[in-house]
Each structure stands twice: as C-alpha cells, then as structure tokens.
Chain A
C-alpha cells in the first residue's frame, strides 16, 4: 500500500503543480518558524535579535555556551564522516585490482577444457564407426542370458525351498516362493513349468503343515509354560507370533488362526472346568481349597491365554472372539463357583461362616485382579454377584435354621405344656424362656453373618454387596422375614382345625405381645447397626418397616387370644353341651343339687382365670367396666368364693324365669349387647369372653331341648349357682345377667309344665353346694 500511496501522491503533485507553488508559499509563510534552529527557514538575525530581546544575560551566556558546544560537536562529526568515506574508497580500489588478476587464471583453464572436449568427440566418432550393425545382436544375447538366469532360479527353486525348510529358514523360503509363484502361476499352462510348480506347492504344503504343527505345539507349549508361572509363556508367545506371521503370509486368515488357537487351548480349560465341577457337587474338599484350585489353575491359565492371545492377534475381530471365549469359560466357572459356594452356604453348619467368607474373599480378589487384565466385560461385577449370591444363600440357610429352631421351640413348648399339665408349670417362666431362646438365636445368627462384613474382606465395602447382602438378604429376608414368619406361624396355630392346647395359644398370644414390645425394635435396631443399613429411601423401600411388623405381631397376639377364648370357651361349652344333650330333661326327679358339670365348669373357669392372670394383668387396656379394688387383691382361690349375698344390687337377681314377653321388653329397652365381642389384652376381658361363650352355648343347647317341670327347676338351680360364682370373672356383669336370664326364659319356654321353683328353695340348694 505504501508505494501506491507515494505514486498517487506524486501524480497528484504533478497535476496540481501550478497551484502547489502558491500553496507551498502560503504554507511556508504560515508554518516556517524563523526561530527554529533546525528548521529550513532559520533566520540567524531574527533568532539573535529575539534572543537578545527576550532572554536575560545569564541565559544568553548559557545559550552561547550551549551553541558553541553544539558547533564543536558538529565539526567533529563531519570530520569522522570524511575519514570513513576515504577508507572505503581505498578498499574498493584494492578489490578491483585482485579481480583483474583472477580472471587471467580462469581464462587459462577454459582453454584446457575446450581441448579435452574436442578429443572426446573424436573418440566417440571412432567407436560409432567400429560397432556399426552388431548392436541388435548384443541386445538379444543379453536378454537370453537374463532369461536363462531366471529359469535356472526357477529350476533350482524346489531344491532351494527344501534346503531352506530343512534349515528352518521359513521366512526366506516363504519369500522365495512368493516371488517365484508370481511367474509360475502366470506360466502355469506351460508343460515345463507345471512339475516345478507342483513340487514347490508340495514343499510349501509340507512347510505349512510343519508350521501348523509347530503352531499347535506352541499353543500347548503355553500351557506347559503356564505351570511354571506367567513368565514362562513369553518366549513361546514370540515364537507363536512369528508362526502366525508366517502362516499369515502363507495365506491363512487371522480368523482361522485365532479360532485354531482357542480350539487348541479349549480342551485343557474344559478339563479344568470339569474337575472343578466334579468338586463343586460335594463338600468333600475344603471350600478354600476349591477356590485355590480354581484360581491357581483355571483363572491363571485363562489370564495367560488372554495375554498371549492379545499379543498374537491384535485385531479387533480376534479380540471379540477372545472375549466371547473368555466369556463362555468365565460363565461356566462363575456358575460352578456359585454352585459350590451356595452348597457350602447351605450345607455347612454354624462353623462354616469364616471359611466361606475367606473363600469368597480370595475368589473376589483374584477375579478383581483378572478384571484389570480384561477390562471389557463386567468380570468384577459378576464376581461380586457370585459372592453376593453366596452370602445371600448363607443368610437364607441361617434363616432356615432359625425357622427350624422356631418350629422346634414351639413343638417343645407344646409337649412341655402337654406333659406338665396346666397348674404345675409357670407360664411366665416358659414364655420368658421362649423369648430368650429365640431372641438369642436371632442374635447369634446375626453375629455369625457379620463375618461377611469384616474390614479385611475385599468385598465388604462394595455398595452392591451392601445393598444385596446387608439390606436385602439380612435385614429384609432374614430378619424381617423371620420375624414375620414367627408371627404368622404363631397366628397359624390359632387357625388349626383341631385346635392346639388352649394354654399354648394363651402363652403365644402373650409372647407375641411381649416380643412386639421388647424385642422387635431391639432386634431391628441391632441389625441396622451391625449391618450398617443406610437410612436412605431406597433401603427403606426394600425393608419391611418395624411398624408393619409390630402390627403383624399385634394382630397375631389378638388372633391367638381370640383363639384361646374360643378354645377354652369351647371346651367349657362342649362340656355343657354334652351334659345338656345327654340328660333326659323331660322325666326326672326334683333337683336336689347343682349338676356336677356346672360345678366343674366353675372350677375349670378358676383354672383358666389363674392361667390368664399369670400372663395378663388385671387392668385391661380397654378398661373393663369395673376393675374394682375389691377384686384386684383376690387370689384365684378366693375367687372361687361365691358372691357375697350382702351386695344388695346383685342379690336382686332372681332365678325365676321371666316370660318371653319380658325378655322381648328387655331387648327393646336395653342396648343390643355385643355378646361375643373380641377379647382385649387383659385378664377380665379374656375370662369374661370365655364365660360368655360358655353361657351362650348353654342357651343354645337349652333351646334344643324340651323340659319337664323338674328339668326347668334344675336349670333354675344351675343358673343360680352360675350367677353366684361367675360374677368374679367377668368385666361386665350385665351380660352374664342377660344370658342367664335368657337361658331361664328359654328353658321355661321349652317347658311343657312351666312351674318354677321357689326362689328361697333355689337359694337353699345352691347354698348347700
């Protein structure tokens, strides 16, 4: 751009030449300062006069001095420049002189050269004259010679190849053959070449076979080398790589070679797998030994195989093939190990934990190491999965043991109750014993499984393991599962059709209640702490909450209690039913005493009351109608005492049958009594449930009979007796009242000759009994 501008400027200047002079003059007039000492329009006079006018003397003096210095400086500069120019001029003249002398010598040499060239052209002309017409002949002879040379080479080729093969110079042999093959294959239709080619092919086939053989030997060589450790395989690998290279040059595809390589290695792998599999089925060998064998033999060999293969066949396709093979072997191996571990977990007793943990640990470590070698595939994850499965299986086995323990404890309890009889055993003691036994069993089970979480165990900190083992297997399936199983197992007893002994039901009901109150939370918290169950929502989603278990236990307890009420009430009811059924109520003598069965019922009720009160205390949770102080201090013996006649309100009840109309009226004006409501957790509620059930049955039985006069009177006596003794056991007197009245009314209604006994006589008879 710069030259452009200057040229443009110059053109402009030439165009505006006329006006420029004027403008120059004007600009000079405007811009040139005559006082600028370096400027072009410097005027000494003006400058001097200006200085003289403006400057004081001292500055004038200084100015003069300064100017003198400057002038002197300028003078010396000029002198220097003159000297410089002079010396340059002298050196230039020297150079010119030297050049002149050099030119002289060059001229001489040029002359020599011209002479030589002319001599050469002379000789060339001579040669051309001599050779003349023989040129074509020579060319032909040279061609024939070369061809014969080549033919000789070809004819020698079989021998040469044999030689090379014998010497083991496979590389050279192959190269020679490859060169020759091009020609041979081109002239393959010529008869003379055919045998050569055939020979060569045969030799090469032999060579190939030999190479294959060596290759196959090499493949097995890795195995024998493998026994000595991973270092032994390396030289073989190099040879193998060479062989593969050679075979590759002979046209074998890498795919074939890699497949052959793997095929070669396969039988041994299969044999090892077979050995392991045979061991996996039995507990004969130590599991640790099993893992060692698996790791040392199979896994090590597989590692070596992978390493060697990776060296020889680097292409991605081969790699994929290796992975497929490796995958298949590992799959079988993992399956076998998993099977063995699970067997160990299932079959070994309580002592097996540490051994199994160590075996798992060793296995996991080894496979993690292998995972580093084979980065693809999720070997480490799968190894962990195997370990998880084994641990979970172990937890499952522990759970099964606990279940057995529970069953044994329950049946033991049952037989204990059956043999010892109701009175001679202390129910609270039995219950406490059961509670301790089972809680301890659970604690022991949890403690045993903690071996899996030891800090030196390689997998104990893996989140996947924690989730699978701690949360799912132990906390949920083992603990929550067992607790749930225990509750449902207990509740199942309540539903059995030939009901188990009532005392068992009663005891288990209390047991469930106590377990819920004391041990449930404790065990869950213990497990949470021991197994570090995280308080994350995921973990909570997997685990049955304690509240749910607690509800299950409450339900079981209620169900068992209800079953107890039904069972013991049913026993009393059965006695009453049989006695009513068996008796001929129509014919009979005037009642003299209370029927024995009624007395028996009252006695049994005392026994039931004693059993219940040994487990359930007086104050029921719902609050019975009258938990009066007069009753709380009663022993069961004094409960057998009859109703004190002084209590005015109670003695108002008369054993005279009211008419049906009265009963209807009673129903109309009283609230509907829930006769057979569910029992609450309290002595009074339970026992009164039993009483109500017995009385209701008595009522129904009475309704199925037809009574004579004395039959009715007997019922009267019985009812009065019951009324006198039952009040102690019930939480709500009015229900018993109502039922007894109903029994009497029904009996009266079913009576052919309804003449009731005098109240005083009834009381007398009851009094006498």
Chain B
C-alpha cells in the first residue's frame, strides 16, 4: 500500500519521454516491428522511392536509456518497397513487396509488383560502431558506406497472382499468407524453400474481390486467416478446409469504402478490429458478424492501420491519412477483467483518491494522439518486445517512436 502511494507521487513527477523522430529522405509506407530475440526494441522500415537508385531497409534499434535510435541499413536496389514484414518465429526472416520498373526498348516502361523473402545478415559484432541518431539530428540519415546487402531466400511465381499487397507470416509455424489481387496464397517456408500450400481465390460468388491486408487468428494454434477486401468486407478462412469451402467468417460492409487493415485481438478469442476508408475503427465478434461490437470514429479520412497491443489488448493503435495516430484504450471490450470491488476495499489511505479515479478508469478513451506527422500515416505498429512502445511512419518518411504515457501505463499495471 505504501509503495502504491510512492509510485503515484512518482507519476506526478515523472514526465513522459518525448517521442523519437527518425527521418528518411524518401517517402515510405513499409514498417514492421521486429521480434528480436534479445528483447531489444527494433523496427524495420522500407523506403519507397520510384526513381531512387538505392531503396533501403532500415533496421532501427531503439535505446530506451538514451532515448535514441541506432540503425543498420540493407540495400534493396531500385525496387521501391511497398510493404515489409518480419517473421514472428525468426527475426532474421523478412519479406517485402516491392515495385520493379523495367524499361523495355527504352520508351515503354513497365512496372510490376513482386514479392520476395529475405534473410537479414547476422550482425557482425564490433565491426563498426552503430550509427547513433539522436532525436535532434533526426532528419538526416547517414551515408551509404555501411549498407549491408540482403540475402534473397526466394520467391515463387504464382498463378493468377496479380498485384501482391503484403505478406502475413504465421505467428507460430514456418508459414505465411501472401495477400494479392488473385487471392490469398498459403505458403510453406520450411526447409529453406518456398512452396505453395493452398490458394484461396478472391472470389465472392461471381464477383471478384481484391484483398488488401490479412491477419492470422492467433488463437487455436492459428488455423484461421482473415482478409480485408476493397469492397469493405472481411473474409475469414480456415486453412484446414479446402479452398472450395469458401470463407468461414463473412462480414459484409464492415466499412463504407475499402477495408484497409484487420487485426485479431491477441488475448480475447473471436474479437478483431478493422479499419477502412470511412475512417472508422470497428471491433467485431466473429460469432456475431452482423453488427460491430464497438466503433471508433477518430480519423477524419482513411484509417490505414489498426493494431492491438500484443500484451494489453485494451490498447489499440491506429493511423490514418489525416496524419494522426490515435492510441485508444477500449477497456470495455478487452480481455481485461472489470475491477472488482475488493481491490478498493484493501486500501485505506488513498481510498477516496481511488474512488475518484474509478469512473475514469473504466471508461474507454483516447489515451494519446501522435501529432508529429505532417503527412498521411500508412503504418503504425506496436513494438514486438515492449508493450509500452510503438512506432508510426508517415508518407514523407518520418518515423516517430512514441511511448504509452506513463500515467496510462501505471493505470494499467497497478
């Protein structure tokens, strides 16, 4: 009890760390959190420069002590990166979806979207000191002298592939789902080779769907994958069923316009969140797909991404083309139990104090807004290893690494 009050006074004295800003010279859309084995806080971002000679993947390691970022850079050639993802089971395995421009006969250029799996080279210890980028000189990225090269694991040509959008790694197995115009392709990644396991064509009866994003259901050893469609609907598939069975979850008109992103609640079965062009974040219970469990209308334009905090699922991160990143607490629909009365009865000293906070505690609310972006935010992710850290990337190449406000953190922990 005593310790509680001490911490409380600390909260008041403690000021939140300022967000760390890291700048790219080119535009960027691709951002992914790296589940580093040593629990360091890493993010990977890819540049999107159409006419740039060297597109890059930047692997950034956040140092909480100095509140700064160190980086490793990997060369991605001329191909502009549209999406990047890192395998949860292997932080060195990453996949990118990129645009490759080819000039045939000089005048008629053609552009093709492709995807590839890469192996990030192991860090060579003490070879060169890591480049440190403190928040002050954030906008400049360093010379290309220390650029490392990626090792391609490979990619396979798929039938009716169309434009690939992104690759969603399986949370446990060496598998992935490639999201593309042609549908969902379940890929096996084991034993050093990529092979097609199943193809779930993007058909809805007769009409053709286009998938934009997909997420694995982390529950029940992850046998389901759900995809967001450009028609605004969501389609969930069970990979154990033959593709001809069609979707097991159908949520039509989840969004007015295109559905852009979907994410499963990591702690609460059947719950998922989706975002879309109507700017809304909707929370769904897949057992009752007719109505959303909850809706948030925060973004004034497209809501491009939404993600549950991997540990505290009441915290939801969302980014949109209105250049805003919202961190919301949706306690009412989270796996977090409602505070029992007994908790209150225990303390005597700060009983009143608590009771005053009580209604506030239970309410769903917007915890914080990242205002540092000036252009559309296409990606915002939680750090895979630190529940209180998240990063967001705007189109102008600005990465902002922010903390969950300490007051919120202690409220959840205490």
- The distance in angstroms between the C-alpha atoms of A566 and B277, with both chains bound, is 11
| Residue in B108, B253, B321, B396 whose Cβ sees the most chain A Cβ within 10 Å | B321
Q: Contact mask B273-316 → A, CB, 8 Å, 1/0?
A: 00001110000000000001001000011100000000000000
Contact B111 A586 (CB under 8 A): yes
> Would you call B50 and A587 a contact (CB within 8 A)?
no
Contact B374 A700 (CB under 8 A): no
The 8 Å CB contact of A752, one of B111, B256, B257, B322, is B111
A676 contacts B110, CB within 8 Å?
Answer: no
Interface string of B34-74 (1 = CB under 8 A from A): 00000000000000001100000000000000000000000
Q: Given A497-B256, A700-B301, are A752 and B295 neighbors across the interface (CB < 8 Å)? A: no
Interface bits B93-124 vs A (CB < 8 Å: 1, else 0): 00000010100000011110000000000000
Known: A700-B301, A750-B50. A675 touches B109 (CB 8 A): no
- A752–chain B nearest beta-carbon distance, Å: 5
Output the least CB separation between B291 and chain A (Å). Answer: 9
> Contacts A570-B278, A586-B111, A676-B301 given: A752-B395 contact, CB under 8 Å?
no
Is A407 close to B, CB under 8 A? no
Determine the chain A residues whose CB is within 8 A of the CB of B396 once the complex forms: 664
A585 CB, min distance to chain B CBs, angstroms: 10
Residues of chain B lying within 8 A (CB to CB) of residue A672: 374
Q: Nearest chain B CB to A664's CB is how many angstroms away? A: 7
**B101 contact set on A, CB distance < 8 A:** 706, 752
Residue from B101, B253, B255, B300 whose CB has the most chain A CB atoms within 10 Å? B300
A696 within 8 A of B: yes
A667 at the interface (CB under 8 A from B): yes
Q: Are A676's CB and B253's CB within 8 A? A: no
Q: Is residue B376 within 8 Å, beta carbon to beta carbon, of the partner chain?
A: yes
CB-nearest residue of chain A to B232: A497
Residues from chain B with a CB closer than 8 A to the CB of A752 are: 50-51, 101, 109, 111
Q: What is the predominant secondary structure among interface residues of chain B facing chain A?
A: loop
Query: Do A696 and B111 touch across chains, with their CB atoms under 8 A apart?
Result: no
**Shortest CB distance B336–A (Å):** 26
- For A677, what are the chain B residues with a Cβ–Cβ distance below 8 Å? 300
Q: Is B300 touching A676 in the complex (CB atoms < 8 A)?
A: yes
Q: Which residue of A lies closest to B82 (CB)?
A: A704
Given contacts A667-B374, A676-B322, A700-B321, contact A498 B301 (CB under 8 A): no
Across the interface, name the chain B residue whose C-beta is closest to A559: B297
Residue of A nearest to B282 (CB): A497
Q: How far is the CB of B8 from chain A (nearest CB, A)?
A: 35
Whether A233 is near chain B, meaning CB under 8 Å from some CB there, is no
A648-687 vs B, CB cutoff 8 Å, 1 = contact: the mask equals 0000000000001000100100001001110000000000
Whole-angstrom distance between the alpha carbons of A677 and B292 in the complex?
Answer: 26
CA distance A708 to B51 in the complex (A): 12
**Is residue B27 contacting chain A, with contact meaning CB distance below 8 A?**
yes
Chain A residues near B109: list those with CB within 8 A: 586, 708, 752-753
- Name B113's closest neighbour in chain A (CB-CB): A706
Contacting residue for A706 out of B111, B278, B322, CB 8 A: B111
Asked if B301 and A497 make an inter-chain contact with CB atoms under 8 angstroms apart, the answer reads no
Interface residues on A, range: 20 to 34
A498 touching B278 in the complex, CB below 8 Å, given contacts A672-B374, A696-B301, A706-B99: no
A495 to B396, CA, bound (A): 33
The B-contacting residues of A in range 21-53, CB under 8 angstroms, are: none
Q: Which of B101, B256, B295, B302 lies at the interface centre, i.e. has the most chain A CB atoms within 10 A of its CB?
A: B256
- The smallest C-beta distance from A475 to any residue of chain B, in angstroms, reads 29
Fill in one digit per residue for A225-268: 1 if any B CB lies within 8 Å of its CB, else 0: 00000000000000000000000000000000000000000000
**Chain A nearest Cβ from B173, distance in angstroms:** 32
State whether A586 touches B321 (Cβ < 8 A): no
A693/B301 in contact, CB under 8 A: yes
Indicate whether A498 sits within 8 Å of B99 (C-beta atoms), given known contacts A672-B374, A676-B301, A700-B301. no
Closest CB-CB distance, A738 to chain B, in whole Å?
12
B51, B256, B277, B322: the one within 8 Å of A498 (CB): B256
Instruction: Report the bound CA distance from A700 to B255 in whole Å.
Output: 17
B321:A696 contact, CB within 8 angstroms: yes
Whether the pair B108, A587 counts as a contact (CB closer than 8 A) is yes
Q: Is A697 an interface residue (CB 8 A)?
A: yes
Q: Is the CB of A498 within 8 A of B50?
A: no
Task: For A675, list chain B residues within 8 Å (CB).
Answer: 300-301, 322
Say whether A499 faces chain B, with CB atoms less than 8 Å apart: yes
CB contacts (< 8 Å) of A497 on chain B: these are 253-256, 292
A749 touches B27 (CB 8 A): yes
A703 within 8 A of B: yes
List the B side residues contacting A697 at CB < 8 Å: 277, 301-302
Question: Closest B-chain residue to A742, C-beta based?
Answer: B375
> A412 in the interface, Cβ–Cβ < 8 Å?
no
Indicate which residue in A570, A660, A749 contacts B256 across the interface (CB closer than 8 Å): A570
Q: Which of A296-331 contact B (CB under 8 A)?
A: none
Q: How far is the CA of A753 from the CA of B103 in the complex (A)?
A: 11
- Interface check A574, CB cutoff 8 A: yes
Q: How far is the CA of A664 from the CA of B375 in the complex (A)?
A: 10
Task: Find the B residue at minimum CB distance from A705.
Answer: B111
Complex contact B322–A495 (CB within 8 A): no
- Bound state CA distance, A693 and B321, in angstroms? 11
Q: Are A566 and B374 neighbours in the complex by a CB distance under 8 Å?
A: no
Name the residue of chain B whose CB is nearest to the CB of A498: B253
Complex CA–CA separation, A192 to B396 (angstroms): 130
Residues of A within 8 A of B301 (CB): 675-676, 693, 696-697, 700
- A566-B110 CB under 8 A given contacts A697-B301, A700-B301, A700-B376: no
Q: Which residues of chain B from 313 to 332 have a CB within 8 Å of any chain A CB? A: 321-322
Bound-complex Cα distance A570 to B276 (A): 12
Determine whether the beta carbon of A706 is less than 8 Å from that of B50.
yes
Chain A, residue nearest B279 (CB): A566
Closest Cβ of chain B to A682, distance in Å, is 19
With A and B bound together, what is the CA distance between A499 and B232 in angstroms? 13
The answer to whether B257 touches A570, judged by C-beta atoms less than 8 angstroms apart, is yes
A:412-458 near B, CB below 8 Å: none
Q: How far is the CB of A637 from chain B (nearest CB, A)?
A: 31
A-B contact pairs, 16 of them (CB 8 A): A497-B253, A497-B292, A570-B277, A570-B278, A577-B277, A586-B111, A672-B374, A676-B301, A676-B322, A696-B301, A700-B321, A700-B376, A706-B99, A752-B50, A752-B51, A754-B51
Q: Which residues of B pack against A, CB within 8 Å? A: 27, 50-51, 99, 101, 108-111, 253-258, 277-279, 292, 295, 300-302, 321-322, 374, 376, 395-396
**Which 9 A-B pairs have CB atoms at the shortest separation, nearest pair first?**
A676-B300, A706-B111, A752-B109, A497-B253, A700-B321, A696-B301, A667-B374, A498-B253, A676-B301
A570-B278, A708-B109, A752-B111 given; name 6 further pairs at CB < 8 Å: A577-B277, A586-B109, A587-B108, A677-B300, A706-B50, A752-B51
